[in-house]
Amino acid sequence: MIVARQKRAENIAEYLLYMWQVEDLIRANRFDMDAIRRTVISRYDQPEEVREEIARWYEELIAMMREEGVMEKGHIQLNKNVILTLTELHLQLLGSPGETVYGAVYYKTLPYIVQLRAKSGGEDLPELETCFTAVYGYLMLKMQRKEVSADTLEGIRRISSLLALLSEKYRAEREGERELNE
């Protein structure tokens, strides 16, 4: 909850990846709050009332995952909404004549997105979800200390650059630093 709140304010892409990790952490703990308290919440160096607030946050996420039927795989609507919001911004940026840098970064990344979609069979996934899935998968492989090909690394580098730029545009728009029609 503390990390999620901070990431959401600072970098929406990192927030979404973190939330996907939290979903997987809940699954790994078999939706058992006692296990989550032992393995996750107890590690927070926070006063007891803050740890209880964190526990309530996990309980709410568990309830959402159960209600929305994403106990084995998939993402809660809260996280899907982030992808929808980012997709809307992404399309606005691509359609904006003043966003030549964003467009250039996107079109340099597009071949990697197409390649990933073809490899994964996920052609029906939105482009940005494909990007997030690729970065998340890479992070999981890295945590497992597994080898990744040079081509994959280049694709992840490009996709990460696109997501970082999109996150910055999202933050700037939310903070009123820029208008989309610039």
Instruction: State pLDDT tens for residues 106-127.
Output: 999 999 999 888 887 755 788 9
d(CA 55, CA 118): 40
Residue 138's pLDDT is 95
Q: What are the counts of helices (DSSP H) followed by strands (DSSP E) for the chain?
A: 8, 0
135's tokens = 């970065």
Residue 1 has pLDDT above 90, yes or no: no
pTM above 0.85, yes or no: yes
Q: Place 182 in a pLDDT band, splitting at 50, 70 and 90.
A: very low
Q: What percent of the chain has pLDDT over 90?
A: 84
CB 93 within 8 A of CB 85: no
